[in-house]
């Protein structure tokens, strides 16, 4: 989330600087340079809006967390597998892995939804996606007490409506 916030601040600074230079050079009647800085201003504005939206989504996930773990393993259809070592936050609205956001439940019935959740002694497996693409995330949850597992499963059910299957736990 810090990386997203840092990028947003950089784009805001770039926008402010390019607007200032556009106005200043416009007063000096340097039209070719004004158009160049005007284009830079427009690009900076678009990037600022995009990063602000990502920061909003990251904040929404961070503030409504169900579980926070130190790392995640992401697998997608086919042979693709990706390990991410950034802090991972699971919430009602999706997963925040480092500066990467996987959202669910925000785009209506046909959007990305959380489908399954499984919890064993070491890992939590979450499968989510839409009709065209499914993603599976493995999380090392670090919970050693059965009651903590049951609490996490109950919170997941209450917040997402998905019943977590607890496997290989006596």
What are 4-27's pLDDT values in tens digits? 899 999 999 999 999 999 999 888
What CATH number belongs to 65-166? Answer: 2.30.29
The pLDDT of residue 105 is 76
d(CA 8, CA 29): 31
Provide the pLDDT for residue 78.
67
- H or E stretch covering 84: strand 81-84
- Rounded-to-integer distance, Cα 123 and Cα 137, Å: 10
**pLDDT digits 0-9 by tens, 29-64:** 888 889 999 999 999 999 999 999 999 999 999 998
Please state, in angstroms and rounded to a whole number, the distance separating the CA atoms of residues 63 and 56. 11
Query: What integer pLDDT is reported at residue 87 of this predicted model?
Result: 82
What was the pLDDT predicted at 108?
A: 67
Is residue 170 pLDDT above 80, yes or no?
no
**pLDDT level of residue 159 (50, 70, 90 thresholds):** confident
Predicted local confidence at residue 81, as pLDDT: 72
What pLDDT, on the 0 to 100 scale, is given for residue 17?
94
User: Which of 58, 54, 66, 71 has its CA nearest to residue 138?
Assistant: 71
pLDDT at 109: 67
Please check whether residue 39 is in contact with residue 86, taking contact to mean a CB–CB distance below 8 angstroms. Answer: no
Output the DSSP codes for 24-50. HHHHTT-HHHHHHHHHHHHHHHHHHHH
The predicted-structure confidence for 62-117, as pLDDT tens digits, reads as follows 998 888 888 777 777 666 677 766 788 888 888 888 888 888 877 766 778 888 99
Across the chain, which distance is largest between two alpha carbons, in Å? 78
Q: Are 80 and 29 in contact (CB under 8 A)?
A: no
């Amino acid at each position: 989330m810090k990386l997203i916030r840092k990028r947003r601040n950089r784009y805001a600074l770039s926008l402010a600087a390019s607007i200032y230079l556009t106005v200043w050079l416009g007063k000096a009647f340097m039209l070719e340079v004004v158009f160049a800085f005007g284009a830079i201003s427009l690009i900076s504005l678009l990037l600022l809006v995009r990063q602000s939206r990502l920061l909003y989504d990251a904040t929404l996930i961070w503030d409504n967390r169900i579980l926070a773990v130190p790392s995640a393993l992401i697998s997608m259809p086919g042979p693709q597998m990706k390990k991410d070592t950034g802090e991972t936050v699971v919430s009602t609205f999706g997963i925040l892995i480092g500066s990467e956001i996987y959202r669910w439940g925000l785009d209506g019935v046909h959007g990305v939804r959380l489908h399954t959740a499984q919890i064993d002694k070491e890992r939590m497996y979450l499968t989510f996606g839409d009709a065209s693409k499914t993603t599976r995330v493995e999380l090392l949850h670090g919970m050693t007490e059965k009651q903590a597992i049951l609490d996490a499963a109950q919170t997941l059910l209450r917040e997402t409506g998905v019943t977590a299957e607890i496997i290989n736990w006596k």
